[in-house]
Amino acid sequence: SQDPTVLIPDGEGKGFGIQIRDRRGEVLTFGEPSSGYLLSDENNTLKFTASLVPVQQHIKAGDFYAVTRFYMDYN
């Protein structure tokens, strides 16, 4: 089964996926809530990072793209 923390891109590049991390560096699991962010009355920036990670022994270089959706709940 596929790792729920890895988004597999489309394109010519093969053998890798994309992981997204929150502001604390914790890997997000797709389809599950992430930890909360404290919001202020001023400018709020939600920081995430994306990294390529191997999912197969052999990696093929090439163009790639990926699309995902996210939902935000706030009070």
Provide mean pLDDT across the span 57-63.
96
Q: How many domains are there within the chain?
A: 1
Q: Do the domain assignments include residue 36?
A: no
Provide mean pLDDT across the span 15-34.
93
Range of the domain at 7: 1-31+46-68
Could you give the CA distance from residue 47 to residue 11 in angstroms, rounded to a whole number?
27
Q: In 3D, which of 41, 31, 35 has the Cα closest to residue 4?
A: 31
pLDDT for res 21: 96
Could you give the CA distance from residue 31 to residue 42 in angstroms, rounded to a whole number?
29
pLDDT for res 48: 92
Q: Taking CA 59 as the corner, what is the angle to CA 53 and CA 14, rounded to the nearest 5 degrees?
A: 85
Between these two residues, 59 and 46, which has the higher pLDDT value? 59
Q: Do the domain assignments include residue 16?
A: yes
Tens-place pLDDT, residues 26-43: 999 998 988 888 888 888
Q: Do the domain assignments include residue 26?
A: yes
Q: Do the domain assignments include residue 37?
A: no
Could you give the CA distance from residue 30 to residue 20 in angstroms, rounded to a whole number?
9
Q: Do the domain assignments include residue 39?
A: no
